[in-house]
Structure 1
């Protein structure tokens, strides 16, 4: 029973923005299942409003999912998801974990979980920051358009724009940002971008920061792994609320 349900949900998850419709046989081939089994699952979903079938026999997501999504938006509390995720990230990493969003031409910290360490990075909920220094800032700025980045640099009267652009290009290539002693003395940070589910635009960053000696090169794979795991939870919550 559970295996059948697992297969059914796996098939439903194949419907994405990039691939919104499927025929029975092509979905069966994609999922490596027999087409008769896939056909039964799709028919059941269609009978219950989760899928619709067009005149060509192809299936797409149905209005039942829209209805359920509307219920989620009405009842879903972002903080109930984000706060536990940040607390877990702070405990597992041993560092201050915080979530920031793009607000105008600045970054804005919207949630913080303090490090259990005595010596720790301090940032407050509601604290605004420039986008030119710190991994939390650069993980946002790196993925904005050329014109926006120029405006940010002009507002900050930044002298070495070429250096910043090289750093941002490396962040785009890596998919994450790490800095040392940019946001504060003796502090290092590592951050990953947070994207919108609607248009894949970067709308914020998830970060951990702390004393620089705890961010040596051999520690980075573990810290980055923890960040990426937490991002999968945080990103979906932020996207629902923006």
Structure 2
């Protein structure tokens, strides 16, 4: 009975594990996310108000993170994300076999197609980009390594969602952030059938993107590989020409990490 005395603090992970998160750590992560989303540095009062914490609690958390280099304070006593987070992120990326194997192939894909290439992975309810190789030609695109976006909002995310565990896919489709679950379900079925997803002017009126899955061991999809470019260059015909090149590079990435190919 004592174990369940604080049942309101118990949560369940996406895979059904019973967890009891540490509240102070959760609040610290909330503060980091607030700083990441803000277009300007934030003071303790602003962080406390936005996070629902007391000013004392917010101060104690940000000064602790400042001490460890995760945030930094400017001359106006406002807080920014710190270089310690960048160092940790680089260690994560450097320790990834997928990232190491994919990097030269993502660069080659950008060189071959003349467009920007990205490698994305599934992380909870988001796609996060591990690698990006810029086009040598003009393009306006904000996606970058480390950026996180909702799965349903991009071709790379939808490819990952289409081949995700059915239970996870069904759960995501009925979250508040998905405006039309039935339309998304139909789109995911087409992605499974066709083996790719393409979209023009979805998040940016000047941008077209096309994505394919990267298959890992035992046929599981471990990443999505994307080419993106201006709608004036990446026309519907050009998209169809890019799909075989994308699949070829996706297969090479899969083989480089010890995988087979699905298509």
TM range (shorter): 0.5 to 0.7
How is 1:180-195 mapped onto 2 (pairs within 5 angstroms)? 180-195=200-215
The structure having more radius of gyration, on CA atoms, is 1
Distance 1:134 1:157, change over 3 A: closer
Q: Determine whether 1:129 maps to 2:140.
A: no
Q: Check whether the contact 1:109–1:128 (CA below 8 A) recurs between aligned residues.
A: yes
Task: Decide which of 177, 202, 206 is 1:157's aligned counterpart.
Answer: 177
Gaps of 5+ in 1: 1-75
Q: Determine whether 1:221 maps to 2:240.
A: yes
Q: How well do the aligned residues superpose, as a CA RMSD in angstroms?
A: 2.1
Q: Check whether the contact 2:174–2:181 (CA below 8 A) recurs between aligned residues.
A: no
Q: Determine whether 1:169 maps to 2:189.
A: yes
Give the structure-2-normalised TM-score.
0.57
Task: Note the C-alpha offset of 1:155.
Answer: 3.2
Distance of 1:77 and 1:202 partners within structure 2: 15
Q: Check whether the contact 1:86–1:97 (CA below 8 A) recurs between aligned residues.
A: yes
Q: Check whether the contact 2:215–2:251 (CA below 8 A) recurs between aligned residues.
A: no
- State the match for 2:46 in structure 1: none
Distance of 1:86 and 1:146 partners within structure 2: 29
Q: Check whether the contact 1:96–1:120 (CA below 8 A) recurs between aligned residues.
A: no
* CA offsets 1:156-207 (integer angstroms, 9 cap, x no match): 432311111111111111011111222323211101111221x312222000
Q: Which segments of structure 1 move beyond 6 Å, counting only runs of 4 or more?
A: none
Distance of 1:179 and 1:207 partners within structure 2: 11
Give the structure-1-normalised TM-score.
0.62
Distance of 1:77 and 1:168 partners within structure 2: 28
Gaps of 5+ in 2: 1-95
Q: Determine whether 1:85 maps to 2:96.
A: no
What is the aligned length? Answer: 164
Task: Note the C-alpha offset of 1:137.
Answer: 0.9
Distance of 2:167 and 2:230 partners within structure 1: 34
- Relative CO higher for 1 or 2, CA cutoff 8 Å, sep ≥ 6? 1
Task: Decide which of 249, 252, 260 is 1:230's aligned counterpart.
Answer: 249
